[in-house]
A and B are shown apart, each in its own frame.
Chain A
Amino acid sequence: MAGNSISRSVNTSPFYSRQLRGFTIKALITLFAFMILIVYLLPFGNMVLISLRSSDMLALTQDSSIFPLIPVTYSYEGKEYPIVEVPTDNGVQQWALVKKGRQASQFVDPANPDAGLIDWDGNWRILTEVQEFSPYFDNYPTAWEEANFPRMFGNTLVIAVTGMIGTLLSCISVAYAFARFPIPGKNILFIILIGTIILPSQVTLIPTYAFFASIGWVGSWLPLIVPHFFANAYNVFLLRQYFMTLPRELDEAAMIDGAGPFRVLISVIIPQSWAAIIAVGIFHFVFAWNDFFGPLIYLLSKPELQPISVGVQIFNFQYGPHPELVQATSLMAMVLPLVIFFFAQKVFMRGIVITGVEK
């Protein structure tokens, strides 16, 4: 009795109820956040479930189920009959519909087929078919072959990796120059560099295209690769910020030991900067993987050279009446960037924050 009254007094103490209220608020707001997240990601669910339908299942109307379902059948005396739900005196039974009739129909009970046909009074049309969840995975191999994914993957990889090498070489070099060397007018040059971030790309488009056309590069990978050997503002900025945080004493110690600027870069700066360098590499890889406009204008007439973005668009344009294939290709096109992101998300998001917040 005494213990009970003590615990009750603890329960109703203002401290306890405030704590309880705190937990409740936390739970509610967290729940709210996760609900927003689920709504935000709903289109992924839509994609996956459409991609798992066979084209037979795609009598796509608003009444069709969102799940890939097929009717369950039962084979009786060598023939397939649909299983339906039949209301009887003993509750709803799942029976195979053998003989359809407007007034009465005949069924067989799959659990007890030896009992023979069962008569049932009523219109068979009101009965609902039993369906089962049956994902259809063949869309993936079909789309893989029809859209020639191996070729598109290969093309994309070559474009992305060579461009990444160019980006890394040039941006590391330029960032090193901005971070460590006494160049006259360096501040103005740096402002010009950053200014190119807000330059709409169209303003350089026509002459650049005309130039590549005149040297015969249109219809090749070169316009998508070569410009990346000349540095770009985002990545230079990220690397420069990173290099500036590195202590100069190590550079100077190396220089006293007789190291030239290249040696310092390779044996002092780069080994300390892997996080930033990996971030830049991933940025470029993902950019190249997702880039659409460049391949569109330079490779439209060369299907054999097209990367995944343009290849998927052209395939999906032709296969528009097959939403299951369109959704399957969309999923296959995004797998690699997402996998890379999940593995490298710390380094990646840190890089975004440096370029976005510190400017």
Chain B
Amino acid sequence: MNSQSASAGVAAAQNTPRAWSIEKRQRFWGWVFLSPWIVGFTAFTAFPIAASLLFSFMDFKIGEEMHWIGLKNWQTLVTDPITLQSLGVTIKFGLIALPVSILFPLALAALLNSKQVVGKPILRVLFYMPYMVPAISGVFIWQSFLNGQTGWLNRILRLIGIVDPPNWLFDSAWIHSAMVLIGLWGVGNAMLTMLASMQGVPTELYEAADVDGAGPFTKFRKITFPMISPVILYNLVLTTIGLMQYFVVPFVISSTTRSNPDTNFINLHLYRTAFQYFDMGYAAALAWFLFAIGLLLTIGIFATSRRWVYYSGGDS
């Protein structure tokens, strides 16, 4: 937008026939520089999305002739107990994981934004650090930490008097809580963006609230939260999409312990369908199903956002 008006300004200033050709030339070069993305978007995004939909109506195994089978994959999808179960597991886990993935970084950010804390730079780096740990290392580290016998978590729990702490990753009742704990190492980006957003809240707002005698809790609810709500919205959407792609943790846990229906997350189910049973057509139907759910959830979140997200500079 800016660039258009600026180059229009240049063109008007020169006001010669050559000015037109500059404008045209600029446009040409614009497309040239944009072309990697145009090609990439077409080849690796737009075309595969369409092809996925097409494949979902096919019986398609790699190396075999594919043929049209109409709605059969979709019929399987709505009746297949394993698919429905994996959807249930994902939703059930999401209901715990989603609030934690917003509230925990929010609390950390509030703590790091407090005027009362000394040593903020070092705290910020160290709280962010686990996010840099490769997911695969992270899962093995946590697996050891959560070990029922020797893991530090249960040692600590026994130390503080809990005689029989759960065997986290082997107990159906606790495995999802354990995975939420593992997920705590993935909040770095959310914490950092929330913190930066909090630091951008104008101090006059807090001063005015002080004059009115507002306490810290009221100030957080009435000033901080509305002012950072766009960042919370952004993180909420990303976490929701991330939940549908949740893979490394359940994959490793279900391959090193016993295979467990509690770790049959939808994306793992899709992976197994495509790359262990080689049923690409059905996997494409699953992928499109997930895409549709993701789209609906995103639209849903944006629809509610009118009520709780506040944009200080008009719409964004």
Q: Measuring CB to CB, which residues of chain A are less than 8 angstroms from any residue of chain B?
A: 25-26, 29-30, 32-34, 36-37, 40-47, 50, 60-62, 64, 66, 169-170, 173-174, 176-184, 186-187, 189, 192-193, 196-211, 213, 227, 229-231, 236, 244, 248, 252, 261, 265, 286, 289-290, 292-293, 297, 300, 308-310, 312-313, 316-317, 320, 323, 326-327, 329-331, 333-334, 337-338, 341-342, 345, 349, 352-353, 356-357, 359
**Residue pair A183, B30 in contact (C-beta under 8 Å):** yes
Asked whether B202 is an interface residue with its Cβ less than 8 Å from the other chain, the reply is no
Which residues in A have their C-beta under 8 angstroms from that of B116?
A: 25-26, 29-30
Contact B133 A334 (CB under 8 A): yes
Residue in chain A with minimal CB distance to B53: A203
B172 CB–A CB distance under 8 Å: no
B293-316 at interface with A (beta carbon < 8 Å): 294, 298, 316
Query: Are B130 and A33 interface neighbours, CB within 8 A?
Result: no
B127 at the interface (CB under 8 A from A): yes
A167 and B30 alpha carbons, distance in the complex (Å):
19
With both chains docked as a complex, state the minimum distance between the C-beta of B74 and any C-beta of chain A, in angstroms.
Answer: 15
Interface hub of A170, A198, A200 (most chain B Cβ within 10 A): A200
Residue B161 lies at the interface, judged by CB distance under 8 Å to chain A: no
Which stretch, B77-85, B89-97, B218-226, B242-250, touches the partner chain A? B242-250
Which residues in A have their C-beta under 8 angstroms from that of B108? 36
Q: Mark B254-268, 1 if CB is under 8 A from A, else 0.
A: 011000000000010
Taken together as a complex, chains A and B put the C-alpha atoms of A317 and B257 apart, in Å, by: 10
List chain B residues, Cβ under 8 A from A177. 30-34
Query: Top 3 closest A-B pairs, CB basis?
Result: A230-B40, A181-B30, A356-B193
Residues of A within 8 Å of B2, CB to CB, are 244
Report if B70 contacts A (CB, 8 A): no
Q: In the complex, what distance in Å separates the CA atom of A335 from the CA atom of B247?
A: 23
CB distance from A307 to the nearest CB of B (A): 10
Question: Is the beta-carbon distance between B231 and A357 smaller than 8 angstroms?
Answer: yes
The size of the chain B interface, using a CB distance under 8 A, is: 107
B245's contact among A202, A236, A337, by CB below 8 Å, is which? A202
**Contact status A170-B117, CB under 8 Å:** no
CA distance A203 to B46 in the complex (A): 10
Residues A174 and B34 in contact, CB atoms below 8 Å apart: yes
Once the chains bind, are A34 and B152 in contact (CB under 8 Å)? no
B6 touching A248, Cβ below 8 Å = yes
Q: Decide: A206 near B137, CB < 8 A? Known: A179-B3, A337-B132.
A: no
Q: A334-B137, A356-B189, A356-B231 are in contact. Are A189 and B245 (CB under 8 A)?
A: no
Q: Say whether A170 contacts B36, CB under 8 Å.
A: yes
- Which residues of B from 259 to 301 have beta carbons under 8 Å from A? 267, 270-271, 274-275, 280, 283-284, 286-288, 290-291, 294, 298
In the complex, chain A residues whose CB is within 8 Å of the CB of B7: 182
13 A-B pairs in the complex with CB atoms less than 8 angstroms apart? A29-B114, A41-B129, A173-B34, A198-B294, A200-B241, A200-B291, A200-B294, A236-B37, A309-B135, A313-B136, A353-B193, A356-B193, A357-B231
Q: A206-B280, A209-B274 are in contact. Are A173 and B248 (CB under 8 A)?
A: no
Q: Provide the bound-state CA to CA distance between A20 and B109, in Å.
A: 26
Most buried by B among A64, A197, A208, A265: A208
A357 vs B151: C-alpha distance in the bound complex, in angstroms? 38
Cα of A241 to Cα of B310 in the assembled complex, Å: 22
B47 at the interface (CB under 8 A from A): yes
Docked-complex contact B150 and A64, CB < 8 angstroms: yes
Which of chain B's residues have a CB closer than 8 A to the CB of A244?
Answer: 2
With contacts A46-B144, A203-B287, A327-B141 known, is A261 near B29, CB below 8 A? yes
Known pairs A193-B41, A290-B135, A292-B135; list 8 more (Cβ under 8 Å): A29-B116, A33-B112, A174-B36, A204-B49, A230-B37, A338-B133, A353-B193, A356-B189
Asked if residues A60 and B149 are in contact (CB atoms below 8 Å), the reply is: yes
Do A176 and B134 have beta carbons less than 8 Å apart?
Answer: no
Kindly supply a per-residue 1/0 record for chain B positions 50-90, scoring 1 wherever the CB is within 8 Å of any chain A CB and 0 otherwise.
01100100001011000000000000000000000000000
What residue in chain A is nearest B182 (Cβ atoms)?
A: A43
> Inside 8 A of B291's CB, which chain A residues have their CB?
199-200, 202-203
Closest to A197 in B: B238
Once the chains bind, are B149 and A46 in contact (CB under 8 Å)? no
Residues of B10-58 at the interface with A, using a CB-CB cut-off of 8 Å, are: 10, 23, 26-27, 29-34, 36-37, 39-41, 43-45, 47-49, 51-52, 55
Of A189, A198, A213, A316, which is within 8 A of B256 by CB? Answer: A316
Output the nearest chain A residue to B190 by Cβ-Cβ distance.
A356
Pair A181/B3 contact, Cβ less than 8 Å: yes
CA–CA, A210 and B290, complex, Å: 19
Contact A316 B290 (CB under 8 A): no
Please tell me which one of the listed residues A200, A206, A333, A345 contacts residue B136 in the complex, with CB atoms under 8 A apart: A333
Distance between Cα atoms of A174 and B184 in the complex (Å):
35
Q: Across the interface, do A327 and B144 meet the contact criterion of CB distance under 8 Å?
A: yes
Question: Which residues of A sit under 8 angstroms from B29, Cβ to Cβ?
Answer: 181, 261
In the bound assembly, the distance between CA atoms of A308 and B267 in angstroms comes to 22
Find out whether the CB atom of A62 lies under 8 angstroms from the CB atom of B150: yes
Complex alpha-carbon distance, A210 and B6, angstroms:
45
Checking B34, B152, B280 against A46 with a beta-carbon cut-off of 8 angstroms, the contacting residue is B152
Please give the distance in Å from A36's CB to the nearest CB on chain B: 7
